[in-house]
Each structure stands twice: as C-alpha cells, then as structure tokens.
Structure 1
Amino acid sequence: MTDGARRTPKFPLRLDQMSVAKQKAASAPPAREVLRPQQPLQHAAATSARKAMPTGLGLDSAGVRRRMVERLRQDGLRHEAVLAAIAHVPRHLFVDAALATQAYEDTSLPIGHGQTISKPSVVGRMIELLMGGANARTSGQPARVLEIGTGCGYQAAVLARLARQVYSVERVKPLHDKARELMAPLRIGNVRLVYGDGMLGHPPNAPYDAIIAAAGGESLPAAWIEQLAVGGRIVAPVSDNGVRQVLVVVDRTEQGCERSVHEVVQFVPLKSGLVR
C-alpha cells in the first residue's frame, strides 16, 4: 500500500484529488470502566429479541465463530486483534431471527429500513485498515473511534473490543433504537450510541483517532476531516466517478492528509438528515 502525496486537503475530498495506491462471544468482554450511554438501553426488549432466536442450532457456540474467523484468515485477514474481536461478538444476535442461520456466512443481510449488516469480511477488512492508523499503532488501540452508521450495532460491538471508547451515530431513529436493544444484553460499557446526522460527525467528543463509515457518498464530508486528530485515520467507501465504490483511507498528519484507494466495495448511500 502506498500513501498518496502529502498536501492540505480541499473540501469536500473527491477521488479525483486522490492518488491511487496498491491497493465477541465465548464470554462477555472484560470488565471496563462503565461509561453511561446517553439514554437507558432497553434491556427488556433486547431480552425478548434474544428469546425469539432459533434454538438448538449451535449459534451460541464459540466454535461457530472460530470457523468463520478461520475462513476470514484464509481469505487474507491478518490482524490478530481484529480476528479475536470478531470471534467474540455473537453476530446472530444482530440479525432477524429468520436470518439467524445465515449469520456466520460471509454475506450481508437486511436489517430493515433499506439498510444491511455488512459481510464479516468487509467489517474485518475495514477495521484492519483502521487499526493501521498512526495513533492506533502507537498506543496499540485508538482512544476514540467515531462510527458513521450504527445500523444494528454489530460493527460497534466489534470496535468496542479494540478501542477505549466508541461513538456511533445513526440517522434512522428505529435503527438507533434497535441497536440499543440488541446491544443491551452484551453489557458493553464503552460504546455510546448517538441519534444524529452522521455527515456532521459528532463534534462534542472530537477529535477522533479513527473514523469509520458504513455508507458511501460522492466525497468525504469536511466535518469528518475537521474532527480527525493528527495521527488519526478515516476508512470509508467513496464513489469512484459514480460507477463503483472503493475503500478510501485518509491519514491526517501535521502537514495535511495522505490518501490511498483500496478495493471495490458496495455500501448503502451516505445521506444527510434525520429519519424518525
């Protein structure tokens, strides 16, 4: 992977400005200092959702997740901490009961409201790229991560095992509420779910060591760059001349930004505004 030339970004960042490069759980997470979420998690609803899951299918087995992780490893995912985080998070709890038997296949699945839960391979690849940022490499983990597009909460749960604090923004209120319900039984103390417009980032807790987006637009919003710490990294899908989406990595340095373009992906469109 070769970083692009260093120069101060012009906003919004577009692909024609970028240089093309080479391209949880057997048990709950370890106890950490609990940071209170902005609103109470709806534990009762979450418990009800879990009871609706099919039984007798072995989906709670750590072995099921280990086999999925081994397939990801064989397909080229190499970051051991990322693989371990994926192995700990029960993906079947984040999909509808009717689709639970497909939870550990490498496929995206609908979660309602025109959104999907990303393929495990895509989640792993994006987080692996995210962990390559300067701040994450120096400290061993990013201190603050901003996720754009909570969806059902699965990726936030994986990120929680790798970062000290995760802020996840969702613009669709029913999905925001659903993620809170699904994450409640896992008792994750270092994720704060925010109902808001992800294109605006989340200024109150900036700057961030890492920003990851689960939706793709024509360019990277200026707010994301402004809220990125020096030494921080953005990983996001961006439209390539309106024909396809590619993963774009942006590293912020003292001199400006370094950009690289990676593999082709397919994400839902990045949109602004709130949906109730």
Structure 2
Amino acid sequence: MTDTLKRTLIVTGAASGIGAAIARKCAGPDTRLLLHTGKNADTLAAVAQDCIAAGSQVITELGDLSDPALPALLVSRARTAFGTVDQIVSNAGKASKAPFGQFSHDDLIRDFAMMPGAFAGLVTAALPDLETSPWGRVVAISSFVAHVHGKAGTSFPTTSAAKAAIEALVEALALQLAPMGTTVNSVVPGFTRKQGGGHLAVTTDTLSAAMAATPTGRLTEPDDIAATVAFLLSQEAGQITGTTVHVDGGLTLG
C-alpha cells in the first residue's frame, strides 16, 4: 500500500473457495477482517488463522444471509470490534440449477434474499461508514450465469436472475457513492474450481465440458478472482467504479 491507512473489511462466504482466497489475499497488518460463513465453522476458523498469521486482526461470524437481520448484524459486529467498516466483499451465494417448472416461488425469493438482498442489507447498514471512509470499497461477486446460459450444459435460472440483480445494484450504488470517493464494482467469475469444502455446482462429469467452453482451456481458480478483487479494493484502484470485471478465461466472449 502507498501509505499507512488501515481498513476494516467484511468478507461473506469466506470459509472456502473464492471467499477464502480473497480473505487470505487481503490479510495483512493494515487489514482488520470480519469473516462470515453460513455454517462451516471449522473451515472458517482455519482461514481466520491464516489471516491472523499474515498480521490481520480477525473476528468470525456464522449465519444464513437469507435472514434479513444478518447483514446489519455483521456490520454491527465489525463496528463493535474495529470501530468502522471501510470495505465489503459480498461473496456468499449458491447455485440453483432447478429449471422452470421445478423451482418454487419460495426458491426464487430465497435466492434473491441471500444474494442481492444480502448485498443491499450489508451496504445499507454500512452506508454511513462507506460515505466517510478514506478507503471505501465495495465488491460484489457475480457469476457468468448472469450473462450466458447453457454453457457446458448448465442453466441456473434463479441464480442468473439474482446475480444480474446484484450487478444492477452495484451500478446504482457506485453512482451514489462516487462523490464520496468510495468505489463499487462487481467481479464475474467463470467456471471456477471450488476448494476447501465449497459447494460444487458443476459436477465432475461436466468439468471437461466447462474447460472446453472456456477459450483459455482451463477452469478459473479462486486465486484468479482474489487477485482481481484485491486490486479493486486497493488504494490504487480509486478511479475504477461501476464496472463489471469478467475473470472467466473468455467464457462470455461468445
């Protein structure tokens, strides 16, 4: 970093995969972390220990983000522990493959509550801090399924809708916070290898098809996403806001 600023960063879905990679990438003496997971307490504790070893102060929190009270609770816990919230990575989510005729109204509502609903809840609760932070950053993790459908035989109707909604919220929030110097962006992973106990929406049988559908010929790694997110959270990225960054090996090119 270019100066001695410190930040408080909330990362949801941090126990495995992309969230864990982001937490580890961002950890350091300048970063205080609140790490969240739904229920994977043991794996989250291991990620927290890695971040502590890198120099971060860390607290952890469990909870279902489809509960509308949880986002504000996470923000409150971060404020109590560290005084403020400077940055948020809204990563927690799920992949739902049920097609039309099989998903219910409640399934759709739950996906929206867990993804765009949780994103909106987090930033709303943290808004006073984000408006005044000298290092305000928000990154939402979207998905290629908001942009292409049926790649490698996959289709995720409710997830696609929920992730597209997140990207729309990102643009609106970016416009609102830009005058305060706080940036807001979304990162769109392609087919991503899951690590550390994460849920694998794409089965092993379809991995070769996923790689074939990706122009670079390989799956995206959690570390690929983490590197992009870490840059967007950095002080150097202060002029990048309202963008949707695809980290997908060219998957959405055609």
> Which range, TM-score by smaller chain?
0.3 to 0.5
Structure scoring higher RCO (CA < 8 A, sep ≥ 6) equals 1
TM-score (norm 1): 0.36
Higher percent of residues as strand: 1
TM-score (norm 2): 0.39
Higher percent of residues as helix: 2
